[in-house]
Amino acid sequence: MLQNERRGTLKAAISAFLDHAANEAGLSDATLDAYRRDLTRFLAWCRERDTNDTTTLGVNDIRGFAAAEHRRGLSPRSVQRRLSGLRRFFRYLRREGVISHDPSRGVRAPKVRRKLPEVLDIDQVLALLDIPQEDELAERDRAILELFYASGLRVSELAGLTWDRIDMNEGLVRVLGKGRRERLVPVGRHALKALRQWRRIHATVAGVDQPRVFTSLKGRPLGVRAIQKRVAYWSERQGLDQRVHPHQLRHSFASHILESSGDLRAVQELLGHANLTTTQIYTHLDFQHLAKVYDKTHPRAKKQK
C-alpha cells in the first residue's frame, strides 16, 4: 500500500508497486525481473527530463518514452513489453488513488511483424526420434524428445517435471505452466514406453528420492540450457539439415495436431495458452501448407516450365 508515499516520488511509487507485485499470486520471477528492468528504465528516462511526480505524467510522456526506446534500437516487441509493464504499474497507482487517470491508456507500440514459427515436417520428426538404444544417455534423451513432441511442453515445463505428475496408466501429465496455471496433457504410447525405460535407469543413477524426471547420469536435475544442448546434439547426429531447438518441437506438435483436427480450441488447451489469439498463429502455418499443396497440384496454379 502507498500510504505516506501517495504524494511521493516516482521512485517511491515504483518501489511500492514492485513490493506489491512480488506478493501478487501468479507472477513468476522472470515477470518480476522484467517489470523491474522496464520501470527502472522509465525512471531513468523521466529523470533526464526532471520529471519525478507521478501525478504530472501524461499520455505524451508515455508516447515519448516509447518512441525514445524505439529510436534507441529496441524492437517493436520489446517496446510492447515495456508498455505492458507501465500499464500494470499505472493501473496499480489508480487503484491506490495516487493518480486519477492512466497516462498509458491508448498508447500503442510500433507494430510487430509477426514471424511464423519454424516447424519440422513429419519425416523430420520421425528421423529425429529414431535414436539408437546404444546407452543410458541415449535412452534419457529419447525420452526427452519423445515427450517434447508427444505433449508440446515448454522446455521450462519439461525441465521442472517430477515423476508424481506423470500418470503412466492413464497416459497423462499434469503440467504447471506460465502463471502457475495447471493443465492436463496426454502422453502418447511411444513417449510412455521411452519414459518407462528411462525410469528404470533413473532409479539406479539418481535414486528413488530424486523427484525430477530428467537428470544427469550422476542424478543432478537437468537445466533448460542442458536440455537445449541435447536437442541440438541429436538434430545434428540424426542428420537433420537444421539445428533444432525445443520450442520447434512444441511448434511442430501444435501444427501437426491442428493440421489433422482443425480444432484450434483443443490446441489452445494442450499448449496452455491463456488467450486464443496466441494459438491462432498456427492457423497461418496450416494455410501455408495448404497453399503449397494447391500450388503443386491445381492445374491452374502450376507454373509453366
The 3-state secondary structure of the chain reads CCCCCCCCEHHHHHHHHHHHHHCCCCCCHHHHHHHHHHHHHHHHHHHHCCCCEHHHCCHHHHHHHHHHHHHCCCCHHHHHHHHHHHHHHHHHHHHCCCCCCCCCCCCCCCCCCCCCCCCCCHHHHHHHHCCCCCCHHHHHHHHHHHHHHHHCCCHHHHHCCEHHHEECCCCEEEEECHHHCEEEEECCHHHHHHHHHHHHHHHHHCCCCCCECCECCCCCECCHHHHHHHHHHHHHHCCCCCCCCHHHHHHHHHHHHHHHHCCHHHHHHHHCCCCHHHHCHHHHHHHHHHHHHHHHHCCCCCCCC
Task: Provide mean pLDDT across the span 81-87.
Answer: 89
Tens digit of pLDDT for each residue in 25-53?
567 788 888 899 999 999 999 999 888 88
Choose, from 142, 202, 250, 251, the residue flagged as catalytic: 250
From the list 20, 63, 174, 178, the catalytic residue is: 178
Which position among 282, 298, 300, 303 bears the catalytic label?
282
Catalytic-role residue among 82, 142, 154, 202: 154
Whether pLDDT at 2 is above 60: no
Please say if 178 is a catalytic residue. Answer: yes
Its pTM stands at 0.59
Residue 266 has what pLDDT? 75
256: annotated active-site residue: no
pLDDT tens-digit profile of 285-294? 665 665 665 6
Q: Is 273 a catalytic residue?
A: yes
282 has catalytic annotation: yes
Backbone angles phi, psi at 218, to 5 degrees: -100, 0
**Amino acid, single-letter form, for residue 180:** R
Stretch 48-74: mean pLDDT: 87
Predicted local confidence at residue 301, as pLDDT: 59
Catalytic residue among 11, 41, 77, 247: 247
Q: Is the pLDDT of residue 303 over 70?
A: no
pLDDT in tens, 196-253: 999 999 999 998 899 999 999 999 999 999 999 999 999 999 999 889 999 889 888 8
State yes or no: pLDDT of 5 exceeds 60: no
Residue 24 pLDDT greater than 90, yes or no: no
The pLDDT of residue 283: 66
pLDDT digits (tens, 9 = 90+) for 146-174: 999 988 898 999 999 999 999 999 999 99
**DSSP character at residue 162:** B
Domains of the chain (ranges, CATH numbers): 10-95 (1.10.150.130), 122-296 (1.10.443.10)
CB 66 within 8 A of CB 51: no
pLDDT of residue 190: 93
Please report the pLDDT score of residue 6 as a whole number: 46
The pLDDT of residue 30 is: 82
pLDDT per position as a tens digit, 115-134: 656 788 888 999 999 999 88
Over residues 182-202, mean pLDDT: 92
Active site includes 70?
no
Residue-wise DSSP of 134-155: -SHHHHHHHHHHHHHHHH---H
